Amino acid sequence: MLVNSLLIASAFMATSIYAWNKDVHQQIGHAAEHLLTPSTKSILYQILEPHYNNSIGLAAAWADDYAHTPKGAFSYQWHWIDSADDAPRYCNVYYHRDCSAGGCVVSAIANQTQILKSCIDRVKAGELLNGEDTTCSQALKWVVHFLGDIAQPLHASGRKAGGNGIEVVFGNKTTELHAVWDGYIPYADANVTSFPNTTIHPFFSNLLSRIHADDFDLPTSEWMACSNPSRALECALNWARDSNALNCDYVYAKDIDGVDLATSGYASGAFPIVELQTSKAILRLGTWLNGLVDGQGSHAQSLVVQTDPSWSMDSDRGE
């Protein structure tokens, strides 16, 4: 698909953002709703506040706004994990090395999943209705959001703050590499300047159809190799490593200096990656929430495999 540089550039006149754009998060949520069982929907709708009109899609972007408030500033760093690797030379993520003391997207998914599980149990027991518990509604909104964040490759990269410190050009507009992956590339792929907030867009409906048909180069069974909420920390770490690998395979492996990423082939080459990663987020989210309601999150695990940094024996690392 040819990129309409002027069309795409016109969509990015606002200040920089640090996750999938809000409407991309909402589309992931709207698509995932189509994968929820009736039982899951009925329970989650008792956890969400009424003003979300029974839609996790509408609630999917709340975490970004909340992180930018004084009250929610503590959660800002929960949206990523700063891998201390060196893309594109080598890529890896290690929990004890890379997750900061205040938390990261991996620990946030694990922690909020366990809170959400207890809230689901309360709904089943008739003790929680109509989104009346803020802790529970926030846990659901964080889980919905962070399962989207962790699929974005630069949310599992510590290089220049996940690409926020790397200046690039897209559609004759100077921006940051992180912003390119947040929205420029998804918008260019769908040939839009934004996605609707309240309904699923045909681009995401098509991804949902492809998920059902298992129509990707990487089979869905591999995406879901870890999908049990009782293994929340392990699964979130696996997802972070999955996204992180793309920083070596594509994000930093291609030429980004002195070229317009909209027309150099960088964007079009990234289209299949964005389609795959957002589809992973959709399927993982729907499966995760169904699993929680079905009781798969009853036994939390604290074990995290492969926690030793690879650079402990890497003489090139020097630290």
Residues 268-304: tens digit of each pLDDT: 999 999 999 999 999 999 999 999 999 875 544 433 3
Burial class (CB in 10 A: 0-12, 13-18, 19+), 261: buried
Sign of CA dihedral 166, 239, 144, 299: negative
Per the prediction, the chain carries an average pLDDT of 89
> What percent of the chain has a predicted confidence (pLDDT) above 90?
86
| pLDDT tens figures, 7-42 | 333 333 333 445 699 999 999 999 999 999 999 999
Neighbours of 130 (CB within 10 A): 11
Band of pLDDT at residue 308, cut at 50, 70 and 90 = very low
Q: Are 259 and 266 in contact (CB under 8 A)?
A: yes
Q: What average pLDDT score do residues 43-58 get? A: 97
Helix (H, G, I), strand (E, B) or coil at 9: helix
pLDDT confidence of residue 299: 46
Q: Which residue has the tokens 């290690």?
A: 94
| pLDDT tens figures, 147-197 | 999 999 999 999 999 999 999 999 999 999 999 999 999 999 999 999 999
pLDDT confidence of residue 296: 75
Helix (H, G, I), strand (E, B) or coil at 213: helix
CA 185 – CA 108 distance, rounded (Å): 27
pTM of the model: 0.89
Which domains are delineated in the chain? 5-307 (1.10.575.10)
| pLDDT tens figures, 85-136 | 999 999 999 999 999 999 999 999 999 999 999 999 999 999 999 999 999 9
Q: Degrees (nearest 5) of the Cα angle 138, 144, 149? A: 115
3-state helix, strand, coil in the chain (%, to 5): 55, 5, 40
Band of pLDDT at residue 267, cut at 50, 70 and 90 = very high
Q: What token pair was written down for 39?
A: 């039982």
pLDDT confidence of residue 303: 34
pLDDT confidence of residue 297: 59
Q: Degrees (nearest 5) of the Cα angle 140, 236, 168? A: 95
* Nearest 10 degrees: Cα torsion 245, 247, 250, 252: -150
Helix (H, G, I), strand (E, B) or coil at 239: helix
Q: Are 290 and 41 in contact (CB under 8 A)?
A: no
Which DSSP helix (H) or strand (E) runs through 139? helix 134-149
Helix (H, G, I), strand (E, B) or coil at 86: strand
Q: Are 200 and 66 in contact (CB under 8 A)?
A: no
| Residue 147 neighbours by CB under 8 Å, 6+ apart | 109, 239, 281, 284, 285, 288
Q: Which of 78, 157, 61 is nearest to 112 (CA)?
A: 78
Band of pLDDT at residue 1, cut at 50, 70 and 90 = very low
Which DSSP helix (H) or strand (E) runs through 211? helix 202-213
pLDDT confidence of residue 93: 97
